């Protein structure tokens, strides 16, 4: 199987950033000329194994009530601890939604003297909020001249779209965690923000607590991004990780994910790949200054994977992950979402539970990956509040000033694992090998051609499963 695996070339460098950058380690591997650098958090060990010898690791961060302590417990100034020495500007926020993330935003803003949540829009009464901030009418926020920033954490397309577009039209800044909204109305909302001189930020929409979009914006200042993608959905990674650790069938582990709150009662958006497709669309638009049609991105999810499939992958030295990928091509953008077999020793294979690992490759900088919690109350809320602080510092507009309509074009071919009870001439003509479980391995097949075939094959065989081989 080695002929299908990408190997590191001599002298290649890699970098990845892991949550919070609280520790720094440099690793050196002998024999291949490979150098790696990592920014590692002080979170519990065991989340992401690193190969090689780690040198120069220093202590983590501990905070106290006196303003905070830094590396090795050193006293930090208020500015170093993330608080301004003297507040010269106050942001007045209208918060749309008070669910899991909205509650986290309220909690993070409450102790600060530069972020004032003036009004909170609720659908129904909730305890714990001062009566004077509660409203059930969005106009109380949209028509309040003192409120300069609207934070949207309601989710869904409507009425979120109506509220966000109305806020931008009034010149108010908008911070949102709503990936469905941004992916569906990308061109319209970014253009409206530019026209009105307002800020539109959505860092929490892609990667939850991972500062992915801000770093994507940053690298573009000096470099050209070639590809983006990775593990961008915590629910599906939790399912795939659990199925690799024990011989459990998909329905059973999906129910466990729902019981733990990782999956919704209707998990379709996660397991069918819709969620990761939206995140990929936003990332690709920013990376390539594009305006892609999100629903046109070819996608195949993990709904039909079985314990027997996982056992077959492991017996051949693979792990399976639901991966997104987008690459800039001469004719447009090649973007897709599919289950992917990676070498069991690859970085993606080590990502556990509901964590994410999102990567870009740039012409000069090479590959950098960002690892952390892709969802959750405070991880997501922290990126929302960080966006508010970015806006408070004077940042306006979006992560890019351009949104050029681009074609989705096929630009890649690779082998596939295919399990189906109804093989046809297309599949037989591309089969290179048959595994013991009856599944076949194809030769290199155009990605868009294969994903189109798999979509049509569902009509003949609803249980069909495919996975690209990297």
Q: Which residues are catalytic?
A: 279
Q: Can you read off the two tokens belonging to residue 313?
A: 């992958």
The string over 37-57, giving b where at least 16 C-beta atoms fall within 10 Å of a residue's C-beta and e elsewhere, is ebbbbebeeebbeeeeeeeee
Q: Can you read off the two tokens belonging to residue 104?
A: 């986290």
Show the DSSP H helices in 233-306 as ranges. Answer: 234-245, 250-259, 268-271, 274-288
Strand partners, 174: 150, 200
Q: What is the spatial distance between Cα 338 and Cα 461, in angstroms, rounded to a whole number?
A: 18
Residues 6+ positions from 247 with CB-CB distance below 8 Å = 307, 310, 311
Q: What is the spatial distance between Cα 176 and Cα 199, in angstroms, rounded to a whole number?
A: 11
In angstroms, what is the C-alpha Rg of the chain?
A: 23
Q: Give the closest residue to 280 by CA, choosing from 381, 212, 196.
A: 212
CB-count exposure of residue 202 (10 Å: 0-12, 13-18, 19+): buried
Cα distances from 173 to residues 83, 132, 152, 164, in angstroms, run: 21, 23, 11, 9
Strand partners, 71: 61
Q: What is the spatial distance between Cα 75 and Cα 275, in angstroms, rounded to a whole number?
A: 42
Is the peptide bond between 368 and the residue preceding it cis, with omega within 30 degrees of 0? Answer: no
Q: Give the closest residue to 57 by CA, choosing from 80, 38, 36.
A: 38
Q: What is the spatial distance between Cα 390 and Cα 59, in angstroms, rounded to a whole number?
A: 28
- Backbone φ and ψ for 119, nearest 5 degrees, come out as -135, 150
Q: Are the C-beta atoms of residues 273 and 337 closer than 8 Å to each other?
A: yes
Q: Can you read off the two tokens belonging to residue 364?
A: 């000069």
- Number of residues assigned to the chain: 470
- Backbone φ and ψ for 69, nearest 5 degrees, come out as -125, 145
Residues 6+ positions from 370 with CB-CB distance below 8 Å = 16, 17, 18, 207, 210, 211, 212, 215, 356, 357, 358, 359
Q: What is the spatial distance between Cα 13 and Cα 30, in angstroms, rounded to a whole number?
A: 13
Q: Can you read off the two tokens belonging to residue 111?
A: 């102790």
Q: What is the spatial distance between Cα 198 and Cα 256, in angstroms, rounded to a whole number?
A: 43
């Amino acid at each position: 199987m080695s002929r299908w695996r990408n190997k590191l070339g001599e002298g290649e460098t890699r970098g990845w950033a892991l949550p919070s950058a609280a520790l720094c380690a440099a690793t050196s591997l002998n024999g291949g000329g490979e150098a790696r650098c990592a920014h590692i958090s002080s979170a519990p060990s065991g989340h992401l194994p690193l190969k090689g010898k780690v040198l120069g690791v220093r202590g983590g961060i501990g905070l106290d009530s006196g303003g905070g302590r830094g590396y090795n417990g050193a006293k930090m100034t208020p500015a170093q601890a993330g608080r301004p020495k003297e507040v010269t500007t106050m942001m007045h926020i209208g918060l749309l939604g008070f669910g899991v993330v909205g509650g986290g935003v309220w909690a993070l803003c409450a102790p600060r003297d530069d972020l004032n949540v003036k009004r909170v829009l609720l659908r129904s009464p909730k305890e714990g909020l001062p009566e004077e901030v509660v409203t059930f009418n969005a106009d109380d926020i949209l028509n309040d001249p003192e409120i300069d920033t609207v934070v949207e954490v309601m989710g869904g397309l409507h009425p979120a779209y109506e509220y966000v577009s109305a806020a931008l039209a009034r010149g108010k800044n908008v911070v949102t965690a709503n990936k469905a909204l941004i992916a569906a109305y990308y061109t319209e909302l970014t253009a409206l923000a530019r026209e009105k001189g307002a800020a539109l930020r959505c860092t929490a929409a892609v990667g939850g607590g991972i500062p992915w979009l801000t770093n994507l914006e940053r690298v573009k200042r000096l470099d050209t991004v070639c590809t983006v993608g990775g593990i961008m959905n915590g629910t599906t990674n939790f399912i795939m990780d659990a199925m690799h650790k024990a011989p459990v069938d998909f329905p059973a582990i999906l129910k466990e994910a729902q019981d733990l709150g990782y999956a919704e009662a209707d998990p379709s958006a996660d397991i069918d790949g819709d969620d990761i497709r939206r995140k990929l669309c936003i990332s690709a638009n920013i990376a390539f200054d594009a305006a892609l049609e999100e629903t046109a991105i070819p996608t195949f999810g993990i709904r039909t994977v079985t314990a027997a499939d996982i056992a077959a992958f492991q017996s051949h030295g693979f792990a399976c992950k639901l991966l997104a990928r987008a690459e800039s091509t001469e004719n447009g953008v090649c973007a897709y979402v599919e289950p992917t077999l990676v070498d069991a020793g690859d970085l993606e294979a080590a990502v556990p539970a509901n964590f994410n690992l999102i990567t870009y490759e740039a012409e000069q900088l090479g590959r950098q990956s960002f690892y952390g919690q892709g969802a959750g109350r405070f991880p997501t809320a922290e990126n929302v509040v960080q966006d508010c602080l970015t806006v408070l510092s004077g940042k306006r507009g979006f992560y890019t000033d351009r949104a050029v309509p681009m074609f989705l074009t096929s630009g890649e071919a690779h082998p596939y694992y295919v399990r189906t009870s109804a093989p046809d001439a297309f599949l037989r003509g591309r089969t290179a090998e048959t595994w013991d479980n009856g599944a076949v391995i194809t030769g290199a097949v155009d990605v868009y051609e294969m994903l189109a075939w798999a979509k049509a094959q569902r009509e003949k065989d609803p249980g069909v499963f495919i996975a690209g081989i990297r």
